[in-house]
Amino acid sequence: MKKTMRTAFFFTGLAIGITSCNEPEVGTTNEYEISKKVVVEFRGEKAIIPSNFPKELLSNSQEEFDRYFDAVSKKSSSRTSSEETTLTYESLYDILKQHTQSIPEVSYEKDFSEHDLKRIYLDFPEIKTAEDANSKKEIIYDYYQTLIKPALIEDVITFESNNANKRSLGGISPETLTVPERNHLLSNPGYGQHYTFAAQESNHWTVVVYQRDADNEANNAFKHAIWNALSIRYILKGAPASENQAVDFTQDGTSKHEQDDNGNQIRTNASAMDLFNNMAARTWMKEETSWGIGPFRSMPSFEDIINNMKGKADASTVHTRAQILAPHGGDSDYVWNKLFDLQTGVQQYLVRLQ
């Protein structure tokens, strides 16, 4: 990941010089060879895939993806250790980046490179010009994200089955992903790469800004807020995504982070705080983003996000669980479902438990 020196910016009573990654880069492409191939209809466009490509992965269904992952995982258990460990955001980011580097870079920020166009012309027989390719970025993006899934899944399963990979603690609490969250990120590797990078950035900048990383406090409110906001920003900058898609993917991922491995909601004081702050940051980010394509889109910069959420976290007050849930309607199944399922809300302030 390339690091660039950002200009210094100031909080009230606090000056901090930023040295941060700009946006997670996708990287360059490699040569693409298929010995056996078939033509399929992909999102309304003729595309070439390997003849042995798992047809289940051509679906957009999370349920289909989960079933495929479980089936491959069970087959792999016979040749790898059955003692599984859990991925961290850093580990998953490295795996995702390795695979996304092998496919064309697709975003609204720039046109395709000549190298990537050559591959696109091979994989999409009816796309003949750069103009045509640029007008179908969403389809092309989905195609290549789908194409890398089988090898990506194999690598993740191998990693989780490797006894040398030990569970690590700290960071986003817990730093390790839940099973629903992991599968959500793998179902869209490109978005997942930006999401996991945002998680790493939020861990890093929480310590830089607050010199501590403790649950339930203002620093934790800050961490969750910038995680959500940066994830939205990085997805919008690094993929041909709409604002709604970026917000929805981030919401779904951070909500699944508050579930157990079976997908059950965890309803604790800490999860109430996290879910509230996640939604507050997404609400702010969505309202501050003016939608357009590429350079016509305006959204908060990295510095805007850090400064604004630092101010909100410092202004946060201690709330009980009942006080956190009250603006949404109280402590009920209906309210918990709202916190887990809604992209945005009304409140934009942050809360803490202590």
Confidence check: pLDDT of 245 > 70? yes
Answer whether 0.95 is exceeded by the pTM. no
Are the C-beta atoms of residues 267 and 334 closer than 8 Å to each other? no
pLDDT for 273: 98
Residue ranges per structural domain of the chain: 4-30+61-102+148-352
Grade residue 17 by pLDDT with cuts at 50, 70 and 90: very low
Coil, helix or strand at residue 267: coil
b/e 76-87 (16+ beta carbons within 10 angstroms → b): eeeebeeebbbb
Q: Is 279 exposed, middle or buried (0-12, 13-18, 19+ CB in 10 A)?
A: buried
The rounded mean pLDDT for the chain is 87
The secondary structure of 152-210 as a DSSP string is HHHHHHHHHT-TTS-----SSSSSBPPHHHHHHHHTSHHHHHHHHHHHHHHHHHHHHHH
Instruction: Give the distance, in angstroms, between the CA of residue 227 and the centroid of all CA atoms in the same chain.
Output: 9
pLDDT in tens, 35-63: 589 999 999 999 999 999 998 999 889 99
pLDDT for 293: 61
